[in-house]
Amino acid sequence: MTEIRDRLAKLNPRQQEAVRAIDGPCLVLAGAGSGKTSVITTKIAYLVQECGMKARNIAAVTFTNKAAREMKERVGKMLKGREGHGLIVSTFHTLGLTIIRSELKTLGYKPGFSLFDTDDAKVLIKELMHKEADTDAEQINAVQSQISTWKNDLILPGAALSYAEDEDAQYAAVIYEAYNRHLKAYNAVDFDDLILLPVVVFRDHPEALARWQRRIHYMLVDEYQDTNISQYLLVKMLMQDRQTFTVVGDDDQSIYAWRGARPENLVTLGEDFPRLNLIKLEQNYRSTGIILRAANTLIANNPHVYEKTLWSQMGDGDPIRIIMNRNEEAEAERVAGEILTRRIKESAEWRDFAVLYRGNFQARLLELKLQHYQIPYKLSGGTSFFGRNEIKDAMAYLRLLINPADDNAFLRIVNVPRREVGPGTLEKLANYATGREVSLYAACSEIGLREQLSERALDRLGRFTHTLDRVRREMDAGQSISAIRELFREVDYEAGCIRTRVRPRSLSAAWPTCGF
């Protein structure tokens, strides 16, 4: 008890008010740098240590894995031992995944369902579109974006056509129906389904909703201004009876409307929960007075849901400099020059500098200038080694060799490189496997499959599984390294990728990193 009270004493009056507001719906309007994460984490500890709530009945959700990890680490330092047992601190999508796993039977999925990432989904959409006509990457991206928007807006395939306003949208609606049908046949979901399906199951099955309402007694939501329709409804459904929740957001920090975020959810919240308690966090702990006055002046031009004015006790600070450059090359040159000058004059370390840019397209020119002046740098936000398509493909081959029942791995590489195994073939295979309650890989060897597929389709699947069966036997005989090397040479992976998609970096360079 003493520890949580000491933590509360370190907060300012508005932060303390936000922590103690537990008896109803609460909106914390948190300006940039106002200590919102401290409020959320302290409130979780307050609910457990001061109010006697079980940690397993509390859920805190945010938007990124990094933010969830940071929140979990900070709460872990406050709740010792069994105090934090069962606490949910996760992203929206992880919470949705947990709900789907607990409601598999209700949703009609088998255990061990696959999760399609953005690339997996794009490959399937591309295959479905190529059945109709030749398409380019821009068209594929447009259809994928439209499907994602419909899912975020809770528009199901059967209703999408009625929302289509032109021929492109009508075509996307047709692909949407086929795409969802194939996902279900593959026993798979995509990232948008991780929010859509929990909302659908809660809407259509009140007993499922009641189970989760009994599980979650208090909910905290970070970055609330970035919620879309389905995320808003998920929170509303879980909390509609108890109305015990805290959402933290700031409409002035909403930058994701292009991907479905609805800052107007802040207004809708007050309409759906009339008892909503609004608390403003306006003291900024990050910036000086001059910076905040400039920011307040700029932000004042934007339309607001709620008014607020950030202030600081850190003094005025250095004046803001606005530097005009004749073009982007001169701008990059000036950035590199500023770093060198300040490093010499102020004896600064390289780690004391950071360069922020608006879009990834600007990184190349900045990198060239930094290299020219021999300024060491680390680029943040690039594609990780294990995020590259060729590495994900290689790992899928290895997963399927180790576990032939891994349907997600099967679906990823059965047509990589291209083996002319189309989505129609895979849909029939998946439906057959579901009926027989076997994996996709095992279904390929069953005699009954001959009644579902043509001889050509059976032959292509057979050659794929026979190759992997042979490699697996060689691995069992102690020849793992040579067998796997030979597998990728035999399937001509790199050449196949050149013909069917972007050329990968040489796999031979990747093998040492993967332990080959």
The whole-number pLDDT of residue 130 equals 77
CATH number at residue 132: 1.10.10.160
Q: Do 399 and 492 fall within a single domain?
A: yes
Residue 314 forms part of a structural domain = no
Domain boundary among 284, 319, 354: 284
Residue 377 forms part of a structural domain = no
pLDDT in tens, 369-426: 999 999 999 888 766 566 778 888 889 999 999 999 999 899 999 988 888 888 889 9
Give the model's confidence band at 127: pLDDT under 50 very low, under 70 low, under 90 confident, else very high: confident
- Please tell me whether the overall predicted TM-score, pTM, comes out greater than 0.85 for this model: no
Residue 247 forms part of a structural domain = yes
What's 216's DSSP letter?
-
* pLDDT over 50 (residue 221): yes
Q: For residue 230, is it left (φ>0), alpha (ψ between -120 and 50) or beta?
A: alpha
CB 48 within 8 A of CB 83: yes
Q: Do 206 and 87 fall within a single domain?
A: yes
Q: Say which amino acid occupies 353.
A: F
Instruction: In the chain, count H helices and then E strands.
Output: 25, 8
Q: Do 64 and 211 fall within a single domain?
A: yes
Q: Do 179 and 220 fall within a single domain?
A: no
Q: Do 230 and 337 fall within a single domain?
A: no
Residue 436 forms part of a structural domain = yes
CA dist., res. 154 & res. 152, Å (int)? 5
Residue 509 forms part of a structural domain = yes
CB 223 within 8 A of CB 178: no
The whole-number pLDDT of residue 45 equals 96
Q: How far is CA 384 from the centre of its chain?
A: 15
Q: Do 418 and 506 fall within a single domain?
A: yes
**Mean residue pLDDT across the chain:** 89
pLDDT in tens, 268-279: 999 999 999 999
Task: Print the domain residue range for 426.
Answer: 388-514
Residue 36 forms part of a structural domain = yes
Counting the structural domains of the chain, the total is 4
CATH number at residue 256: 3.40.50.300
Give the model's confidence band at 131: pLDDT under 50 very low, under 70 low, under 90 confident, else very high: low
Residue 294 forms part of a structural domain = no
Q: Do 360 and 405 fall within a single domain?
A: no
Domain boundary among 136, 155, 186: 186
Residue 419 forms part of a structural domain = yes
What's 286's DSSP letter?
S
Q: For residue 187, is it left (φ>0), alpha (ψ between -120 and 50) or beta?
A: left
Distances (CA, A) of 99 to 200, 216, 227: 11, 12, 18
Q: Do 145 and 203 fall within a single domain?
A: no
Q: Do 252 and 279 fall within a single domain?
A: yes
Give the model's confidence band at 493: pLDDT under 50 very low, under 70 low, under 90 confident, else very high: low
CB 417 within 8 A of CB 496: yes
Extract the runs of DSSP E, i.e. beta strands, from 317-452: none
* pLDDT over 70 (residue 434): yes
* CA atoms in the 13 A half-sphere facing the CB of 183: 23
Q: Do 402 and 362 fall within a single domain?
A: no
* pLDDT over 80 (residue 511): no
